Structure 1
Amino acid sequence: MQRPFLHPPAEAIRLESVLYALADPVRLEIVRRLVTGDCPLNCSTAAPAHLPKSTQSHHFQILREAGLIQSERRGTEVVNSLRLDEIEAKFPGVVAAILKAAKPLKCPDAEKSGS
C-alpha cells in the first residue's frame, strides 16, 4: 500500500516555506505550469521533461510540504493542483508577484532541438 500524501492545513502554511519552495527555478516552473494550466496536471506534464522521475518527486514533495500544491493519486498517476486560493488568502499577492518577476525556465532539451 502506498503512503498517503501529507498536506499542511492552511493555517500551518508559513511564508518562509513558500518562499523557499519558490526559490528553486524548477519548482517555480512547475508552479508556473500549474497556474497557466486550466486543470490539475499530472507530475510528468507539470515538471520539466529533462528531469529524472526521482528529482521530479523531490520537487513535488517540497511544493506539497510548503502548502503550494495538493497531490492526489488517480490510478497510477499523481495529479497536482495549486492551493492558490489558500496561499492568496494568507499571503496576498506573493505568488503572483514572484511569478511576474521570474523568468521562465529554459529546458535543456528544448535548446538542443532549437525550440
Structure 2
Amino acid sequence: MPSQVRSTFALPPEPPAVPDPLPEPGIDELRLETVMGALSDPLRIFIVRKLLLDSESYDHPCGWFGIDRPKSSLTHHFKALREAGVTRQRQYGLERRSQVRIDDLETRFPGLLALVAAWEPAD
C-alpha cells in the first residue's frame, strides 16, 4: 500500500472551533466489506457522491442534501455511513454535519472514491 496517496478529492480547510467527531472506526479498522455494504444502498452512495462532488463547506447538515425522506430514515443512513467509516460526523448543538473521510478511504482503498464519484443513479 502506498505510504502517501494523492487524492483528487479534498476537504475545504477546517474552520476554527470544530467539535470532535462522533465515534467512528479507526483507519486500521476500516473493512472493505463493511464500507461496500454501506455504499450498496443507492441513497447512501448518493450522499457520499454529493459530498465528494458538491461540497460547499467543511461539513454539511442533512438538510443540505435535499433528500425528501423522514428524518428518522435519514438518521439511519447517516449513522450507517459513519459506523462503516465512510463519513465523519460532528455534533453542532442539535445538528449533525457530515463529511467524507477522504484521506482515510483513499489510503485504505485507493480508487474507491473515484468509483463512487463516477456512479450514476439508475432511472
Q: TM-score, normalised by structure 2?
A: 0.75
Structure 1 position 98, deviation (Å): 3.2
Cα 1:69–1:93 shift into 2, 3 Å: same
Unmatched tracts of structure 2, length 5 or more: 1-20
Structure with higher helix content: 1
* Equivalent position to 1:84, from 93, 98, 102: 102
**Could you state the TM-score of these two structures normalised by the residue count of structure 1?**
0.80
RMSD, aligned CA: 1.8
Secondary structure of the equivalent of 2:56?
A: coil
Corresponding residue to 2:69 among 45, 51, 61: 51
**TM-fit CA distance, 1:74:** 0.8
Percent identity over the alignment is 37
RCO comparison, higher one (Cα < 8 Å, 6+): 2
Per the alignment, residue 11 of structure 1 pairs with 28
* 5+ long unaligned stretches in structure 1: 107-115
Distance across 2 between alignment mates of 1:22 and 1:50 = 19
Q: How many residues in Structure 1 have an aligned counterpart in Structure 2?
A: 101
- CA-to-aligned-CA distance 1:85-115 (integer Å, 9 cap, x gap): 1000011001212331x21477xxxxxxxxx
